[in-house]
Amino acid sequence: MTSAESNWQQIAQRVRDERRRQGMDQQTLAMVANVGVRSVYRIEHSEPTVRLDVLMRVLAALGLRLDVHGHNQS
């Protein structure tokens, strides 16, 4: 597994866990984030074809954010 695949899997798991924690189904999250249900499904299944703006709307709807770090930063 590549680093990018691992990152997508971590994002997918975090989104799915937080959605469930908040008691939302995929359709509700899609509505709140103003994205398609298929987009939520693709994010939660680690499909790397999701557009960044769509991912950011889903994260924002869940109260999450995406942080980017260099290779030597944590």
* CATH fold of 3-61: 434 Repressor (Amino-terminal Domain) (1.10.260)
Backbone angles phi, psi at 57, to 5 degrees: -65, -40
pLDDT in tens, 16-55: 999 999 999 999 999 999 999 999 999 999 998 999 999 9
Q: Name the band, by pLDDT with cuts 50, 70 and 90, for residue 5.
A: confident
Listed in sequence order, the residues at least 6 apart from 50 whose beta carbon sits closer than 8 Å to its beta carbon are: 39, 42, 43
Q: Work out whether the CA dihedral 54, 57, 59, 61 comes out positive or negative.
A: negative
- Judge contact between 4 and 48, C-beta under 8 A: yes
DSSP 35: S
What's the first-to-final CA gap in the chain, in angstroms? 20
